[in-house]
Amino acid sequence: MAEVRVENLVKTYGAARALDEVTLDFPDGGFFGLLGPSGSGKTTLLRAIAGFVLPETGRVLIADEPVENVPVEKRGIGMVFQNYALFPNMTVAENIAFGLDVRKVGAAEKKRRVTEALDLVQLGAFGARKPHQLSGGQRQRVAMARAIVTRPRVLLLDEPLSALDKALRVDMQIELKRIQREIGITTIFVTHDQEEALTLSDRIGILKDGRLIRHGPPREVYDDPRDSFTATFLGDARIFSGTREADGLRLADGTLVPGAQGATIAVRPENFQLSASEPNAPCRLRAHLVQKIFGGALGTCLLDWQGEVIKVVGRDADFRALPESGPVWVSWQPEHSVTISP
Ligand SMILES: Nc1ncnc2c1ncn2[C@@H]1O[C@H](COP(=O)(O)OP(=O)(O)OP(=O)(O)O)[C@@H](O)[C@H]1O
């Protein structure tokens, strides 16, 4: 397998900078999730690594080798895209064998590798079927088998699960991770689903307007987002701004948030507690409960505070004692005030 590195990549389309000096390492054998809003440059970055997009400046290295003069088919890359198209009149096995035929792999070796790929995606009994005889998830697994049968060094996945419904998607996430671990292939995965990225990735990168805003292990980025874009894009957060004082942050309504280390802080919805009576917690606000939303095990409460919305996520059982609406206390522990700006 191979490490992928991009250095100072710039790609412009007219006035738009699809990639704006992106430098990033994708570790050997790792699962890297690329996240960002629509139009932030995720697909362009993937296409630049594959060789479909030629950057104006910067370079791509695979296993320490610059690849600007290496054509797409020689870069050792397997790809699965959102609208993976299988050849409808070929069997599953023929579809998977396609890349081996192109490479003129001998019959015995081809048979062995197709069987191996089918087993890996747990479709051993489906080789003779046609794509229309498969479910969406099974077709997706064929696309995976087809991408890895040529033994690429790097796997690029562009929203490969977005066509699947929620339940199947979750099953396929587990499946994808298993396959990736089993073959240990360097994988770069584009998704707009932040939960998916957090679940699957060893490392994530967040793009915005073609720039790499942040990268690192998912938990690290989630727990310490450092900027308000990352805090609100990756998960949800209430941003509080005010004036820094010796013992905390003074909000516009006069409330002191003790222990806060910045003029702007973020608090995650799951770190708020609600109570009808005044709590002991040092960080607390008086707000107005507007709506309780039932969501199964977890529920959401929407509060109004100074004309702004505070979202609180918690166990539905904990919200049951609260009135449907009216004044409430919202509180949190000082360690859950995350500094966004000093
Ligand atoms: N072939 C192209 N011609 C002109 N502009 C392009 C082209 N490809 C991409 N762009 C522009 O480059 C920017 C980045 O696009 P890109 O497809 O990389 O974003 P993305 O993050 O993958 O978005 P999405 O999540 O919507 O797929 C966008 O502003 C897009 O309009």
pLDDT band for position 209 (cuts 50, 70, 90):
very high
DSSP 300-333: EEEEEETTEEEEEEEEHHHHTTS-SSEEEEEEE-
Distance 39 CA to ligand 1 centre (A): 5
pLDDT band for position 1 (cuts 50, 70, 90):
low
Complex ipTM above 0.90? yes
- Whole-Å CA distances, 155 to 210, 243, 299: 22, 48, 38
Mean pLDDT (whole number) for 60-82: 92
Residue % of the chain over a pLDDT of 70: 99
Nearest residue (by CA) to ligand 1, atom 27, is 38
pLDDT tens digits for range 2-14: 799 999 999 999 9
Ligand 1 first shell, C-beta below 6 A: 13, 16, 18, 36, 38-44, 192
Nearest residue (by CA) to ligand 1, atom 12, is 18
Reduced to 3 states (helix: H, G, I; strand: E, B; else coil), residue 36 is coil
Mean pLDDT (whole number) for 108-123: 92
Distance 174 CA to ligand 1 centre (A): 29
pLDDT for 192: 85
pLDDT tens digits for range 210-252: 999 999 999 999 999 999 899 989 888 999 999 999 999 999 8
Determine the Cα–Cα distance for residues 24 and 59; give it in Å rounded to an integer: 11
pLDDT tens digits for range 279-328: 999 999 999 999 999 988 899 999 999 999 999 999 988 898 899 999 99
Determine the Cα–Cα distance for residues 248 and 260; give it in Å rounded to an integer: 5
Given a contact cutoff of 8 angstroms between Cβ atoms, the answer to whether 327 and 286 are in contact is yes
pLDDT for 160: 85
pLDDT for 327: 96
